[in-house]
Amino acid sequence: MGSTIARKSVPLRRDSPTHRGDRLPVSAGRLRTIWHHHGLSIALLALFLVSMVGQTWAGWYAYNEEQRSHQQPSVTLARYLTTGHFGEATFENWESEFLQMAFYVLLTAWLFQIGSSESKRPDVVELVDLDPRDSPTKERAPWPVRKGGIVLTLYENSLSIAFALLFLVSFTLHARTGLEAFNQERMSHGEMPMGFWDFAGSSQFWFESFQNWQSEFLSLAAMVGFTICLRQRGSPESKPVDAPYFETGD
């Protein structure tokens, strides 16, 4: 009577995975992982800080040159940071940037541009259009979605609200620091200083505002229009290189 020998199945040897996802190696250290996951924010903040230092340094020298031309004493860097010259130059630019982003968020929610990667598809209900109140996965959603009510209403509009508030703060600071710079210039010519509301309604203040606003809206229009026909491989702001002109979205 033949004996039956039980054979154990031996699993095939598999190579250890070399990547976490499609891009990051398993051997990547902590710093490389942080850079991989947050590199865009880190790079943009670094560029902001470098530009801010450059503006401050150059503005300080320009301000002191102007002081000397009016036979006024030079100021220290710390003192310069409290002047209207620095505040106006900073906040009038922040104002226009936040206004741009507030409008962009709102306009892209309601308006379309066929063929642009910056637009939703005009004939398709996108995921961002869906009401979170009807979400089948509420248990994994951020807490405002689970909370509902006014909290959810604020949360589902929080991006545009945040940019709008930043615009209003920057707009107010632009007016206040612009008034200080404007009055300093007036007094250097022997003229009386102007009040806040007079300056806020002056052509000088609105000239400073509109000259920045128009450039921001022009750059947005260019971005929307250029992405119809032009491409940048690897950028989420561009459609795939082989996508036809009429294809909308990314």
User: In which element (H, E) is residue 44 found?
Assistant: helix 30-69
Whether the pLDDT of residue 4 is over 60: the answer is no
Rounded to 10°, the helix 30-69/84-110 angle is: 130
> Among 168, 179, 40, 190, which residue's Cα sits nearest to residue 98?
168
Q: How far apart are CA 234 and CA 190, in angstroms?
A: 58
pLDDT of residue 12: 54
Q: What is the pLDDT of residue 1?
A: 47
Question: 74-125: per-residue pLDDT in tens?
Answer: 999 999 999 999 999 999 999 999 999 999 999 999 999 999 999 999 999 9
Query: Over pLDDT 90: what percentage of the chain?
Result: 66
- In order, the DSSP letters of 48-68 are HHHHHHHHHHHHHHHHHHHHH
For residue 72, what is the DSSP state?
Answer: -
**What whole-number distance in Å separates Cα of residue 85 and Cα of residue 190?**
19
pLDDT in tens, 40-85: 999 999 999 999 999 999 999 999 998 898 888 999 999 999 999 9
pTM score: 0.84
In the 3-class helix/strand/coil scheme, how is 205-226 assigned residue by residue?
A: HHHHHHHHHHHHHHHHHHHHHH
Q: Which of 14-18, 125-129, 236-240 has the lowest mean pLDDT?
A: 14-18
pLDDT at 40: 92
**Rounded Cα distance, 68 and 62, in Å:** 10
d(CA 223, CA 201): 32
**Residue 228's closest CA among 216, 238, 242?**
238
The predicted structure's pLDDT at residue 97: 96
